[in-house]
Amino acid sequence: MTAKMLHHGPLTVPQGQVRPGIYWLRLFADAGRCIAVVTEVPGNPAGTVTNAVEEIAEAITSRWGGLPAGLVFFEIWPAGSPGWSETNVQRVQFRGQTKWADSSRAEIEELLGGSLPDLPAHDELYEQVLAIGGGAVEEVRRPVFAAIPVEELPPPHNPSRCKHLARFRRLVDLMHERGLSAEEATEAAGGEFLASLTPEDLGVCRFHRARWDLIASESVRIVDSLGRRDPEDYVAEARRSTLPARERRWLESLFRDPIDIAGGGYTDGQHRSCALRFSGAQQAAVVTGDELLGEESTDWKYEGDG
């Protein structure tokens, strides 16, 4: 005898979160039992079919009153879902501690006495999920490069790879002794540290061996000529520069691993900033913030659960 289909569509299950979980339920009944086949879908904004299996089972039994008492429950992770290149079917037992056992579509169809109907293809499936409040997106952002005066670059706050790091740390301790807060001490020590560097000090640092005046000038030219672009575009333009090979590599670094002073301090680039300060460069291209380009889906693609 073929089981009677009661539901073939999305199922929303509140889980105490801002958005309920969304799953695809194929629900059947015959003379003595209820068969629930629950599939994880792209765009599910809450607990996965595995993590929320008890809540899903409770939602099914509460929404379809009068169902046969026996509940045979299958969960499916379809091909394309996180971690699965092929469909994974589990039979779930709720007596006592919840347990999972490997199963198959063939076992489901044997219980149904017929074929298990397919879910819609990805585009239609995902459209239905979005229509009931699912979907996950993330902001797409990119760094904003600007040419700023070199004299406006912040002082170093932790030149960890500098050969003169011990001097910097002594200056920080001295500023603490003068009663400055940790942030004030670091900022003041950075200024004092820069002022203390001699030509001999600079001569032992590899960062200072390049022509940073030429590198800075080229970086400004690239930003001015290209305008707002992706970092890869700046890197490509830097590779076309006629600078000597060493300087060209440093130029590329300004766009591949840029000097980032967004927020007023350094995320990266303290040592190159120091080299720029002592090069005679007037301006250089650095990251001063980021901009929002839009949003993109972070959901996976449903590839079938056959």
- Is residue 16 predicted with pLDDT exceeding 80? no
Q: Do 34 and 74 contact (CB within 8 A), yes or no? A: no
Nearest-angstrom CA–CA distance, 119 and 139: 30
Q: What is the DSSP string of 213-282?
A: HHHHHHHHHHHHHH-S--HHHHHHHHHT--S-HHHHHHHHHHHHS--B-TTSS-SB-HHHHHHHHTTT--
The residue-averaged pLDDT of 173-194 equals: 94
pTM of the model: 0.67
Tell me the per-residue pLDDT of 202-235, one tens digit each, with 9 for 90 and over: 999 999 999 999 999 999 999 999 999 999 999 9
Tell me the per-residue pLDDT of 235-251, one tens digit each, with 9 for 90 and over: 999 999 999 999 999 99
Give residue limits of the domains in the chain. Answer: 4-135, 141-162+205-294
Tell me the per-residue pLDDT of 22-65, one tens digit each, with 9 for 90 and over: 999 999 988 778 999 999 999 999 999 999 999 999 999 889 87
- As a residue count, the chain comes to 306
